[in-house]
Each structure stands twice: as structure tokens, then as C-alpha cells.
Amino acid sequence: MILDKIVAHKKKKVAEEKHQLSLSKLVEKLDCIQPPRNFKNSLKKENQLTIIAEIKKASPSKGVIRQSFDPLEIAEVYEESCVEAMSVLTEDKFFQGSDDYLKQVRKTTSCPLLRKDFIIEAYQVYQSKLLGADAILLIAAILTKQQLIEFQRIAEQVGLYCLLEVHNEEELDKVLEAGGEIIGINNRNLKTFETTLKTTEKLISSVPKNKVIVSESGIHTREDMQFLQKLGVNAVLIGEGFMVAEDIGKKIRELRG
């Protein structure tokens, strides 16, 4: 299963990173902590579906999605198009992302930034702050309730919002019990890659109204946006739909209607 492979690779990578920079040295580097840009408030606008636009070169299901991939150029178009937040893939092996992309994009934009990666250790939470993220992704499928609670506590300490990702009722219960505030419903099954907006439709009724709800993956058309808005979704997370567009700005305008 792909998720196991990704997590196994991640464990190795984090072990190497810790070897180069220990947790205590990493934490020392965070001594003057800046507050995060308000990822949560940016996503919650009345009567408007907000957009988290993703910078994503490849995926395990599709391989390379965008051939001429320039993260800074893409970030610039996203910024000009006034997306509410950006998501930067930093996972290197399966998504061909990079920590450097996040660092570079941070320097050029004041937009709230989500670090899109597979966080399995506290070390990566601190590291995300150092890279310039405002928010991190916590995937319920690969974390225990205890880990979700611990990582959210550290995130709060260092100034990071958490997007908690779920794909079924069981995972949703877990993140709600862990006190999650921003809930991402992933329309893609990370085990089979099957993607359907019905996942959001099915799960949304179990999410309390005071949460920020993000529908993730498989969103391509204006109709998709209208469908999700009617369900009461606050924000959408879109990668591929923008990455395959020749004119990204035009695609954003088209989706916004």
C-alpha cells in the first residue's frame, strides 16, 4: 500500500535530518517566533468558497503532472489571482516536492502557506515553522489520536494552524475527539486513489457547524465548486486542476465564476 511506503520513506528521511540537525538545535533556531498568518480566518468567508491553491509537481497516482514546473512562477499567479491560501508539497520522493520550494515561496508571498507533507514526528512540526509555514497537514490515517493531540499542542506553541485530514467517519471521530478546528475531507482514498466528491457529501453532516471545512482533491470544474458550496463547505484544496491548466489565472477565474 502506497501510504505505508510513503511513511516508511519519511521515517528514514526524518532520521537523517535529525542526524544533521538535532531536535534541540532545531528548537533553538526558533527562538524569536513570528505569529502565523491567519490561515483559519482566511478560509472562512461568508457566502464564498475560498481556495487553497496547491503547488504540486507530481503525485504517486499520476506521475509528473506539470512538466514546466516553476514553483515561484506558479506562486506569483496564485498571488495575483488572490487565492486565500497556498499549499506547497514538500514530500520529495512521491510528489517531487522540496522544503526549498516552501522556503522560496515564503520569501515572495504574504499569503498563508500550508506545508503539505506526511508529518509523523514532532520534529517535523518545528521544522515546518522554520521553513516558513503558517499551517501544517495532519493526516488522521497515519496518526493516533494521541499524536494528533500532541502535534496540535506543539503547533499551537510555535504558532502554526493545523489542517486535519480525514477520509471516513472513523477518522473524522478521531480528529474531532482530538479537538481539530480545521477539518479537511479528502475526496481521494489514499489507499486506492479513487476520487469522488461524494466523500465530502457523505461526511459533512457529521462535522459540527463551528468547524472550518475544507474539501480536498478531485475538484476540477465550476460545477464541482457549486456542488461543494451548496453542501456548506468553506474552502477547497485544488492541485491538479491548476497544475494541468495552461493559463492558471484563467482557470481560477473560471472556478470562481
Ligand X SMILES: O=P(O)(O)OC[C@@H](O)[C@@H](O)c1c[nH]c2ccccc12
Stretch that binds ligand X, among 75-83, 124-132, 197-205, 214-222 (CB under 6 A): 214-222
Q: Please, which of residues 72-101 interact with ligand X by CB under 6 A?
A: none
What are the phi and psi torsion angles at 229 (to 5°)?
-65, -40
C-beta closer to ligand X: residue 85 or 238? 238
What are the phi and psi torsion angles at 99 (to 5°)?
-60, -35
Active site residue 121: no
Residue 13 CA to residue 19 CA, distance in Å, equals 10
Per rule CB under 6 A, is residue 237 in the interface with ligand X? yes
Active site residue 47: no
In the stretch 186-205, what mask flags binding to ligand X with x, by CB under 6 A?
Answer: x-------------------
How far is CA 235 from each of CA 53, 118, 126, 176, 228, rounded to the nearest angstrom? Answer: 10, 21, 26, 18, 9
Query: b/e for 147-180, b at 16 or more Cβ within 10 A?
Result: bbeebbebbeebebbbbbbbbbeebbebbbebeb
Minimum distance, C-beta of residue 30 to ligand X, in the bound complex (Å): 24
Taking the CB of residue 112, how many other CB atoms lie within 10 A of it? Answer: 23
Per rule CB under 6 A, is residue 106 in the interface with ligand X? no
Stretch that binds ligand X, among 16-24, 73-81, 171-179, 210-218 (CB under 6 A): 210-218
Catalytic residues: 54, 56, 116, 165, 186, 216-217
Would you tell me which residues interact with ligand X (CB under 6 A)?
A: 54, 56, 116, 139, 165, 186, 216-219, 237-241
